[in-house]
Structure 1
Amino acid sequence: MTATTALAVVAAPAAAVAAPREADRAGLQRRLDDVVAAGSVGALAEVRDEHGVWRGTSGVAELDTTRPVPVHGRFRVGSITKTFLAAVVLQLVGEGRLRLDDTVETWLPGVLPAGHHTTVRQLLNHTSGSYDYLRTLPMPPAPDFLGIRWRTWTATELIQRAVANPPTFEPPGSAYAYSNTNYLLLGQIVEEVTGRSYGEEVERRLIRPLRLRGTVMPGTSPWIPGPHPHGYVPILRGSETQLVDYTEINPSVMGASGEMISTTRDLNRFFAALLGGRLLPGHLLDEMRTPGVEGRRYGLGLAWRDTSCGIRVYGNDGDALTYQVWSFSTSDRHRQVSVALTPAFRGDVDDAVNALLNKAICG
C-alpha cells in the first residue's frame, strides 16, 4: 500500500546556507514513510538542525480515509509526561522545598509499605521497586480493556492496586525496574509540597512560560483538542483481532505517569529549554542525566541513547497505546527530532523509527 504523504518545510535561515552538511529533507521524508510502511496508520515529525525546521507527515489521520495527518497535529505523549513532572520536582528541589533524599513516608505517610526506605530520587529514576499498577489492569487485546475507557481513576486507587502486590525487588535502590506507580506517587508529593495539583504546577511552571500552545494536561477530559490523528487499539472479537478507534479516552488512568497531550513543536521546544539550562540549574540537570543503576540510560525522568554516528541524544519516549512518541535532542540543542505515530499493530516499527532518528541527528 502506498502511503499518502504531506510535507511542510520551513526554509533555512541565510546563516545556515553555508553549513557543511547539506539538508536532505527528501531523505527524512523517506524515513518517515518507512515508519508508516513498517506498521503505522500515520506519523508526523519535526526536525530542527542547522538548516532550520523541517516538518513532515506520512500515512493517514484516520483509517478508511485519505485525510492526511495534520502536520501540527496533537497526540498523547505517554511517558514523556514523566520528564515534565520530573522537571517540576527538580525545580522544587532547587527552591529548597523538597529534597531528592526525602523519603516517600515524609510526604505521604502510610501510602507506600516501603515508604520509610524509598526516596524521591528512587521514584524519579525507577529504582524504588514499586509494583507497576498498569500490570493490574486489563490490556489490549483483551475485550475487558474497553470497559475502563471512560472511568475516572484517582491516583490513590491506582497506587492501592500497585501496593497490593509485592515489590518488584528489595531493597529500594538496589535495581532498576520501570514503574508508572513511581510517577503517580511523585504527582501526589508535588501536591503535598505546593498545595496545587501536579497538572497545575506543570502548566504554571512549564507550559505557560515556554508558550507550549499545543500542550495540555487533560485531567479527566477524553478529548484531544484541535487537529489530531486518530489512535487505535487491537481488540479480540471472537476469533479475530480488530482495530478499535480509541482516540477518546478518560486519561486519568495514566495520570501523572502519562496523561499529557502535545505536539512535535512543543516537545522540541521543551527539551531545548531543559537541556539549555533555562529550567534547572546545572547541578540538577546533571542529576537528571545520572542513571540510578550503572549501565542504564535513564536518570531522573530523562533518558538518552547513542545514535549510529556516535552522537548521544537526550530526551524520552512515550507509549500511550494509541500513540507512540519519541523526542530527542543533542546536548547543545543544535539537532532535535520529535516523531509521533499511530500504530497499526501489524509490525514492529522500532527499526524504522531508529533509522529516522539517526537520519535526523546524523544526516
Structure 2
Amino acid sequence: MYGAYSAVRSGTAEWQGASGIADVDSGRPTTPQMEHRIGSITKTFTAVGVLQQVRKGHIELDAPIGRYLPELVPGERGRTITVRMLLNHTSGIGDHAGAIFATADSIEGNRFHQFDPRELARLGLKAEPLGKPGQAHHYSNTNFVLAGLLLQKVTGKSPEAYITEHVIRKAGLRHTYFPRSAYLTGPHSKMYEAAYGGFNPPRDFSVYNLSWAGTAGSLVSTMADLNRFYRALLGGELLAPAQLRQMKTTVPTEDRTLRYGLGLFRLQLPCGEFWGHNGLVLGAETWSMSSADGRRQMSLGFNLTRHQKLDGNGHPETGPIDVAMGAHIGQALCGKSDSRLPGLTDPNPPHSPLVAPQERPLPAPRR
C-alpha cells in the first residue's frame, strides 16, 4: 500500500494518523488532513438532500419516480419504481458505469470527459435490468444519478449546489466539496490504480473528471470531515426523526453482515452495529463507519486501489494489505486488532461494505 490516512473517535477522544507516501515519484509523505475522493459515500449526502425535501412535503418516498421525472422514466417503469427504491437500490435499474467503461481504452479516454447526468440516467435505464422493481437489492449508480435529478426538479437548483448549502454546510464541514473540474484544489495525495496488475506500475488517476459519477460518487472530503458528517447525521442534526428512521429502514443484501437503508448501510460486527458507507473510484478507496450514538467512529482512505493479485478463477485474493486494514478497523471500532472480523479482509465478497459493490472489475488495460 502506498499511503493511507485515518481519523478515529472514541467518545470525546480523537485520533488522526497517516502512513506512507502521497507521491511515488517525489516521496512526499501522506498527512492525516489530506483531501480524498470519497466515491459512493456521496450517496449518503444525496439521500439526506432528498429526505430533507420529503420532510418539506415536496417529495413522497413511495411515490413513483415517473411523477417527478416522466420524461426520463416513462411508462411502466415510471409507474412502478418509487423514490424509495432508488435510494435503497431495489429499483432494478442497470448501472450506467458498465456502458461508460466498457472497453480498456475508455478508462483513459473518459479522463476529461464531461457527462450530462441525463445522459447517464438514459444509459442506466437502457442497460439490462438488474431485477424487477422492489424485488431485491441490486446496487446501481444510476439510482443516485436519478436521485440528484429529482433534487434538481423539486428545488430548482443543481443538486450539487443544494447538497453543498443544505447538507455539507449544515453539517459544519469545511473540507468537503464537489470538484468543478478534473483537478482537486486542496492538499491531496495522488491516487493510483493497479487494476489487479493490469496497470504495472499502477497509474495515477488523481486528475479525473468524476462527472460520470455525479451525485452517486464525485465528492471530495477528509477523514475528519466524514466522521463529523456521520455524527451530525446520526445525531439528528441534518434530518428530522421521521426521515432519519426512514433512512435507517433497511433491506437485506447478498452479504449477511450488511443491510442497506436509504443511501446508508448497517454493518453488524461482533462488537455492535455500525452505520456508514464506503466508496471506490479509480485510485481512491474510502470506508466510513459510526456507531448509532456517534461515540465510536472510523474513517479510512487509501491511495492504491485493486492492489490484490487474482487467483486462477480471476478473483482477488486476500493479502497482507487486507489483513492490516482489517486489523486497523477492528482496533478502531471494536477496540481490538482482530483482522478476522466478518467482512474486513475478503477483498471482493458480494456487496461487502468494505469493497465498493458498484465497481465491476475493470476491463483489462493495454500496457
- SS of alignment partner, residue 160 of structure 1: helix
Count matched residues.
Answer: 319
CA distance in 2, matches of 1:277, 1:345: 36
2:115 alignment partner AA:
W
Aligned partner of 1:135 among 98, 107, 114 = 98
Tell me how far apart the structure 2 counterparts of residues 207 and 215 of structure 1 sit (CA, whole Å).
Answer: 7
Shift in CA distance, 302/121, structure 1 to aligned 2, threshold 3 Å: same
2:126 equivalent to 1:164: yes
1:55 corresponding residue in structure 2: 16
Q: For the Cα contact (< 8 Å) 2:12–2:295, is it kept in 1?
A: no
Structure 1 residues 262-308: Cα deviation after superposition (integer angstroms, max 9, x where no partner)? 0011100010000001111222211111113476511001112122x
Partner of 1:340: 301
1:98-134 CA-partner distances (Å, limit 9, x unpaired): 1101211011113125111100000000000000011
Instruction: Show the counterpart of 2:40.
Output: 79
Distance across 1 between alignment mates of 2:13 and 2:117: 41
Partner SS state of residue 224, structure 1: coil
Find the aligned partners of 2:227 and 2:199 in 1 and give their Cα distance.
39
CA RMSD of aligned residues (A): 2.0
Q: State the SS of the aligned residue for 1:358.
A: helix
Q: Is the 8 A contact 1:122 1:292 kept in 2?
A: no
Structure 1 residues 289 and 164, CA gap change in structure 2 (3 angstroms): same
Which position in structure 2 is the counterpart of 1:92? Answer: 53
Q: Higher mean Cα deviation, 46-55 or 82-91?
A: 46-55
1:144 Cα offset (Å): 3.2
TM-score, with normalisation over the residues of structure 2? 0.82
Cα separation, 2, equivalents of 1:281 and 1:240: 46
SS in 2 for 1:79: helix
Q: 1:82 to 1:235 in 2, by over 3 A?
A: closer
Residue 153 of structure 1 contacts residue 253 of structure 1 at CA under 8 Å; is this kept in 2?
yes
Tell me what 1:246 maps to: 205
1:48-97: CA deviations, max 9, x gaps? 11361111101100113321102200010000000001011111101111
Q: Determine which structure has more spread, i.e. the larger CA radius of gyration.
A: 1
Corresponding position of 2:275? 314
> Cα gap change, 1:274/1:235 in structure 2, threshold over 3 Å: closer, same or farther?
closer
326, 331, 339: which one aligns with 1:354: 326
Q: Could you say which residue in structure 2 is the equivalent of 1:208?
A: 169
Whole-Å Cα distance in 2 between the matches of residues 162 and 284 of structure 1? Answer: 27
CA contact (8 A) 1:336 1:361 kept: yes
**Could you say which residue in structure 2 is the equivalent of 1:231?**
191
**Per-residue deviation, residues 176-202 of structure 1 (Å, max 9, x unmatched):** 100000000000000000000110111
Q: Are 2:115 and 1:153 equivalent residues in the alignment? A: yes
Structure 1 Cα separation of the partners of residues 215 and 80 of structure 2? 22
Equivalent residue letter for 1:297: R
> Structure 2 CA distance, aligned partners of 1:182 and 1:269?
26
Whether the aligned pair in 2 keeps the contact of 1:236 and 1:242 (CA below 8 Å) is no
Give the distance between the partners of 1:276 and 1:351, measured in 2 at CA. Answer: 32
Cα distance in 1 for partners of 2:53, 2:167 equals 13
Structure 2 residue 185 is matched with structure 1 residue 222: no
Distance 1:297 1:344 in 2: 24
1:302 counterpart = 2:285: no
1:190-226 CA-to-partner distances (Å, cap 9, x unmatched) read 000000011011111122222211111124x111121
Quick one: distance in 2 between partners of 1:359 and 1:156? 43
- Give the superposition deviation at 1:350: 4.1
Is 1:104 aligned to residue 76 of structure 2? no
Q: Does structure 1 residue 182 correspond to structure 2 residue 182?
A: no
User: Structure 2: how far apart are the matches of 1:139 and 1:68?
Assistant: 35
> Is the aligned partner of 1:255 residue 2:214?
yes
Cα 1:231–1:283 change in 2 (3 A) is: same
Change (3 A) 1:275 1:235: closer
Report the counterpart of residue 89 of structure 2 in structure 1. Answer: 126
182-191 or 277-286, larger mean C-alpha shift: 277-286
Q: Deviations over 1:27-53 (max 9, x none)?
A: xxxxxxxxxxxxx21100000113611
Structure 1 CA distance, aligned partners of 2:61 and 2:175? 31
Aligned match of 2:354: none
Partner of 1:35: none
1:79 to 1:165, Cα distance in 2 relative to 1, 3 A: same
Alignment partners' CA distance in 2, 1:177 and 1:326: 20
Question: Which ranges in structure 2 are unaligned for 5 or more consecutive residues?
Answer: 309-317, 336-367
Amino acid across the alignment from 1:280: L
Q: What displacement does 1:259 show?
A: 0.6
Helix, strand or coil at the partner of 2:122: helix
Q: Which residue of 2 aligns with 1:21?
A: none
